[in-house]
Amino acid sequence: MIDYQLQAKHWLMLALLGLAMLLASINPMEFSAYVLHQVGTVIMLIVLLLLFKKVGLSFSSFVFYLTFLLIHILGAHYLYSYVPYNDWLLHYFGFDLNQWLGWERNMYDRFVHFAYGVLLYPLFFRLHRLGFPNAKDWMIFLLVVQWVMSSSLIYEWLEWLLAITLSPEAAENYNGQQGDVWDAHKDMLLATLGAILAGSWNLYKDRKKALD
């Protein structure tokens, strides 16, 4: 079901997001980088509310979008390169994810880019469906994947342009490149794979529903 008016359930989710932003603002690891990231959060939230009012969204799409923002807010608090996900797993479950997968770097930034493709796919699909009402679902799927690829590229360009205005240390803190010269390429690839997986799953569900 598509909603065009904010209801109690939407306000509850927005309140949780506001609480997360408030908590993340307490002693962030690097305040200037935190502010830069949170400017992006505010812009994305404004875009969401404008789209909600203009074209309407399903509640699941709304929640997925806010979930992506929550993941981003956590990264903004710690800086993406220092989110202690592995320490949390070791402390609470005794499981070393980095060792198990052979990771030598913090992978939280990779996770965020992957989540971009997965969690924002429903919103992008609706927008492209509205733009191309007569296109088949698999065509919309391809358009959304291309959009995720191109928007990821544009984000990496903007990140690069911002980084060259900062000191080397501040740029590293903001970008979270961690010495990987292929960081941007891998980030774009993961966002693309996330969109492909989310889109393939949705196509499968729709196909299965049509056959039942």
DSSP state of 57: E
Chain mean position to CA 145 = 14
Least Cα distance to 70 among 146, 30, 2, 17 occurs for 17
Q: H/E/C letters for each residue in 143-177?
A: HHHHHHHHHHHHHHHHHHHHHCCCCHHHHHHHHCC
Length of the chain in residues, anyone? Answer: 212
- Say how far apart CA 97 and CA 117 lie, in whole Å: 22
| Separation of alpha carbons 33 and 170, rounded Å | 7
Domain boundaries, the chain: 2-211
Q: What is the pTM of this model?
A: 0.89
Amino acid at 208: K
Asked if residue 33 lies in contact with residue 170, where contact means CB atoms within 8 angstroms, the answer is yes
What local confidence, expressed as pLDDT, does residue 161 receive? 79
**pLDDT tens for each residue of the chain, 212 residues long:** 899 899 999 999 999 999 999 999 999 988 888 998 899 999 999 999 999 999 999 999 999 999 999 999 999 999 888 899 999 999 999 999 999 999 888 999 999 999 999 999 999 999 999 999 999 999 999 999 999 999 999 988 887 777 777 666 665 655 556 666 678 888 999 999 999 999 999 998 878 777 76
> Which pLDDT does position 62 carry in this prediction?
96
The residues, ordered by sequence, that sit 6+ positions from 203 with a Cβ below 8 Å of its Cβ are: 137, 138, 141
Residues 14/66, Cβ–Cβ less than 8 Å: yes
